[in-house]
Chains A and B, each alone.
Chain A
């Protein structure tokens, strides 16, 4: 069942985030900021840009390598959501068919360029977000958000959401299994039954929230979840951020790819 794989994938992403490598040890705030700068730089390219986007794959590639993240796993997740980007972009070559270049005898339309550009940007932005969460535990991300000024209520309930995501998904799996065992074909999946199933799940959820609340009250809950682990921004963190910014500036404002291509052409002429 597709949801099984979806579910186990979340667990795997979660486990990956608790590894201990150079990337994992960086301060979560720094990683969040670096990821956002990266995303901004990537989407700031104009719609027909293709070539200059290529060097940006160095960023996810380095994080995957140094963070020891399995490449096929990330690739599969990117591919999983790609039909969506393909669908959106596929209209471009159809609607914008002006030929803008003839490369080695093959005419290239403007729409094709913008389509390619969307695909590259898609791969870059999706992998950057996935890698952020694969190298930073979700509680650490929440902690970073808190330190970056997000409201306490928001962050606290986000932590709750994440903690109980796995619990409730298992609960839903049990409900689905129970329903499937008692029904054939599409029987049991009518809206009426669905509403009741969801209603039951909702009751269990609300009761659980109540129990959690009482359990936490008795442990001194005051509306905030303090983190025992203290994060400090070290010189290494700052150096990482500085290098990221230099990298982004160089590849955003200088046409490095094209330059390399020209040099290669000169060499082999």
Chain B
């Protein structure tokens, strides 16, 4: 009996694992993208508190700033692409969103008695 790729991905649980992995990468990418500017802002604040003054900052974007922005955008791109792929895959295979499609595995047993 021929079955479609969608059915095979559903029955084999490959789609669920892929969605979970893509969601994890999306979270990781979003965290990394936010971490770079947030850490810099926190450093700026700590320096301001330590010296009780406004720390020096360049009024224009330096080379390091541009690299930082490019890295942050790369992580943001990873997050957006991963989440979009997870959402599209979930809609295609399960017909629902990624979170809702994964909740159906919440009650699955971790092991099986009959191997």
Are A and B subunits of one complex? no
Chain B residues engaging chain A, CB cutoff 8 angstroms: none
Interface positions of A (Cβ within 8 A of B): none
